[in-house]
Amino acid sequence: MSLILLLWLFTIPLLANSLQDVPDVRGYLINCGAARPSDEVTIDGLKYISDEGFTSVGNKTTLKNPDLLPILSTLRYFPDPTARKHCYVFSVSKGEKYMLRTTYYYGGFDGGKVPPVFDQIVDGTKWSVVNTTEDYANGLSSFYEIVVVAMGKTLSVCLARNEKTVSSPFISALELEYFEDSMYNTTDFSKYALGTVARTSFGSEDDMIGNFYTNLNVTTSGVTVYATQWPLSGQTEIVLTPADGVPVGPMINAGEIFQLVPLGGRTLTRDVMVMEELARNLNDPPSDWRGGDPCLPKENSWTGVTCITKGKFARVVTVNLTSVGLSGSLPSCIANLTGLTHLWLGGNNLSGTIPEMSSLKALQTLYAI
């Protein structure tokens, strides 16, 4: 496991400043499962809005505990066991950096006593396993964070069942915050994301401890120091040693540990655009056709979609939605799905004509009756 340790000395205005003078459209604070689209809640001056419009799947519910924070009192859960993933989709600026935070509080919404365990996915990358069991047993909510660079004009956040999932995945709140490029700029975000492992402010009895040796000349404007790809394990020690002749001792405000999360790749943009248009042209397609990467992660591709990876990108090679009760039509842009070898849509109630497909040189079988 590759980790990055950041130590913040004196006052670091960087994070606060990174969110100033940035249009609201470049950040979202989402109260998942809010009863009405117009519902808004304000916590510490931050306004959370309903998740309506960011997802079209799942069910909403309100927990009965009156002592919860507003963003923990509602949640959205996803009961469909056939869906390979359940996604939120956000408009973002391509190439910009964002921190994504997901928050979970179970509250026994499904009548159980133990929260379900499931995966969370950002675009085509399986980010982490969500296991809130210990926190919930201690009366706490759980949160997860990851820093990513948007590879396109949208960013998807998805939940998915795994072999340990015994009930419906759920989510309480979701936050997407824009970061300036100077934040965490030592990471190659074309290959990795940064998953938060730990964060603390120093000075209390519960300090996080890591391992760092340095000699720094800092000012009141603050400085951030870091080390990359440390194989940290167990308890280690931070040592801050003043340089010779320095009249005062070292000072430190905070520290963070991140895990490097290798990106899982992405589907060729042209293929994504065709698949999204196909989904819009079909009535009642599988619920996992409503967001997320159509190919990746491989085990969480859209239902009926098979892909292969060629070079940097995944390509759609098979679409099989035979006899699933579809209606609608095929869009003309299906001709841009140039890696397609099999298109099976028979046994449904499609209308209209079959588009021109002479550009699909790899197409071997077509079943659309």
Q: Which structural domains are found in the chain, ordered by start?
A: 3-194 (2.60.120.430), 266-367 (3.80.10.10)
Q: Do 15 and 183 meet the contact criterion of CB atoms below 8 Å apart?
A: yes
Lowest mean pLDDT among 230-244, 259-273, 302-316, 341-355: 230-244
pLDDT tens by residue, 337-359 = 999 999 999 999 999 999 999 99
| pLDDT at 256 exceeding the cut of 80 | yes
Backbone angles phi, psi at 7, to 5 degrees: -115, 130
- Hey, what are 270's tokens? 């042209």
pLDDT tens by residue, 197-214 = 888 777 655 543 333 334
Q: Beta-carbon neighbour count of residue 310 at 10 Å?
A: 11
305-318 average pLDDT score = 95
Q: Which DSSP category does 55 fall into? A: B
The pTM of this model reads 0.86
The residue whose two tokens read 């359940």 is 86
pLDDT tens by residue, 116-173 = 999 999 999 999 999 999 999 999 999 999 999 999 999 999 999 999 999 999 999 9
Question: Which pLDDT belongs to residue 4?
Answer: 60
Cα-Cα-Cα-Cα dihedral of 134, 15, 237, 138, to 10°?
A: -10
Question: Which pLDDT belongs to residue 95?
Answer: 94
- Hey, what are 261's tokens? 């999360």
| pLDDT at 325 exceeding the cut of 80 | yes
Question: Which pLDDT belongs to residue 251?
Answer: 76
Which of residues 265 and 224 earns the better pLDDT score? 265
| pLDDT at 228 exceeding the cut of 60 | yes
Q: Which of 352, 349, 348 has its CA nearest to residue 324? A: 348
Question: Which pLDDT belongs to residue 18?
Answer: 37
Lowest mean pLDDT among 24-28, 35-39, 96-100, 360-364: 24-28
pLDDT tens by residue, 174-183 = 999 999 888 8
58-77 average pLDDT score = 94
Question: Which pLDDT belongs to residue 207?
Answer: 40
Question: Which pLDDT belongs to residue 254?
Answer: 78
Q: Is 336 left (phi over 0), alpha (psi -120 to 50) or beta?
A: alpha
| pLDDT at 327 exceeding the cut of 50 | yes
Q: Which DSSP category does 37 fall into? A: T
Mean pLDDT across the chain: 87
d(CA 361, CA 338): 7
Question: Which pLDDT belongs to residue 241?
Answer: 78
| pLDDT at 106 exceeding the cut of 70 | yes
> In sequence order, which ranges of the chain are alpha helices (DSSP H)?
14-18, 70-73, 133-137, 269-281
